[in-house]
Amino acid sequence: MAIPEAFYTQAQLLSVLGQDTYFRLVILFSSVFIGILACTTVYNIMNAAGPLVSVYSKLSKAEKIEWGNRGFSTAHSIMISAAAIYFIFFSDLFKDASPYGPVVFRSSLLSEIILGISVGYFIADLSMILWFYPTLGGKEYIVHHGLSVVSLTLSIYGEEGIFYVYMLLLSESTTPFVNLRWYLCTMGLKKSTAYIVNGIFLFLGWMLARILLFVFFFLHLYKHYDQVQRMHAALHYCVLLVPPCLAVLNVAWFLKILMGLLKIIFSKL
């Protein structure tokens, strides 16, 4: 492979190396492993640091497991939300004016590596959910994570629909508020101002990232459906079936959040 310049920028280097199929597969499998390893590391750190919080010693074994689980869940949500915001709003990769071809078929090795790390997270979290079922979540969490693993894997493998994957993953930005609510409740702060404020932010964030964002998603999908039709069959049907399933789950959870928020507000009146 000829190298036209003495040095490459990071983006150029990733682009050139990403054309090597073997190298690409090694990098992507490594990113999944890194995601699993990162989750394990954060889980251990959370439980090792747990005794620094007085209430931790009073938790049951199941609650201590959830304590660590929600720790790496929060870390993943922050990482993937930051990546989604960058690729959707700041990078030129998915901008309509960019000369990279149809937006549905655009991708970069960097965007795929980050999605690989996210696959590692979903595998780790799903494994824990199944192992400790139903302590860490019910059937809806299994469905959500299962669909996420399938969608991300197909998109990375086919190098298609990466834009839509990042749009859906942006909904993970609400996860820190969900987890903070659990931590506050566990620490006996359910009636605190912090709990109420977090509930308000959770409601607003959920409405923005998991309701309105999905409306924009479906509008964009409709506008670019001519491109979607040219996707690989498995990805084509995945794009048509998975987002509506996730949207139904989001609406169901949104109603629960709304009812909980209203209950707290009226109890204060």
Q: Are 38 and 117 in contact (CB under 8 A)?
A: yes
Alpha-carbon gap, residue 101 to 7, rounded angstroms: 26
CA 33 to chain centre: 17
pLDDT at res. 11: 52
Mean pLDDT, residues 66-76 taken together? 97
Please report the pLDDT score of residue 4 as a whole number: 41
| Whether the predicted pLDDT of 6 surpasses 50 | no
The pLDDT assigned to 98 comes to 84
| Distance, first Cα to last Cα, the chain | 71
Distance of CA 47 to the CA centre of its chain: 23
Query: pLDDT tens across 173-207, in order?
Result: 999 999 999 999 999 998 889 998 999 999 999 99
Torsion of CA 93, 96, 99, 105, to 10 degrees: 60
**Residue 162 reports pLDDT greater than 70:** yes
Residue 19: its pLDDT value, please?
A: 58
Neighbours of 260 (CB within 10 A): 14
Contact 104, 84 (CB under 8 A): no
**234-248 pLDDT, tens digit each:** 999 999 999 999 899
Poorest-pLDDT segment among 8-12, 42-46, 96-100, 222-226: 8-12
In this prediction, residues 153-161 reach a mean pLDDT of 93
Return the DSSP state at 59. S
What's the pLDDT band for 265 if we cut at 50, 70, 90? confident
Distance CA 161, CA 149 (A): 14
Kindly state the average pLDDT of the residues 146-154. 92
pTM: 0.88
How many Cα atoms sit within 13 Å of 171 on the Cβ side? 25
Mean confidence (pLDDT) of the chain = 90
Q: What confidence tens digit (pLDDT) does each residue in 131-145 have?
A: 999 999 889 899 889
Q: What is the pLDDT of residue 269?
A: 65
Q: Provide the pLDDT confidence category of residue 44 given band limits of 50, 70 and 90.
A: very high
Lowest mean pLDDT among 11-15, 92-96, 182-186: 11-15
Mean pLDDT of the region 8-24:
59
CA distance 181 to 195: 6
Say whether pLDDT at 63 is over 60.
yes
C-alpha to C-alpha distances, 200 to 20, 169, 178, 187, 203, nearest whole angstrom: 48, 21, 11, 19, 5
Looking at residue 12, its pLDDT comes to 53
Q: Return the half-sphere exposure (C-beta side, CA atoms, 13 A cut-off) of residue 12.
A: 7
C-alpha atoms less than 13 angstroms from C-alpha of 126 in its C-beta half-sphere: 18
Given a cut of 80, is residue 171 above it in pLDDT?
yes
Mean pLDDT of 106-113: 93
Query: What pLDDT does 103 receive?
Result: 93
- Residue whose C-alpha is closest to residue 168's, from 126, 215, 106: 215
Instruction: Give the C-alpha separation, 265 to 71, whole Å.
Output: 28
Measuring CA to CA, which residue among 174, 66, 201 is closest to residue 125? 66
- Examine the pLDDT at 7 and tell me if it is beyond 60: no
Q: In 50-88, which ranges are continuous DSSP H helix?
A: 61-85
DSSP 148: H
User: 260 — phi, psi (to 5°)?
Assistant: -65, -40
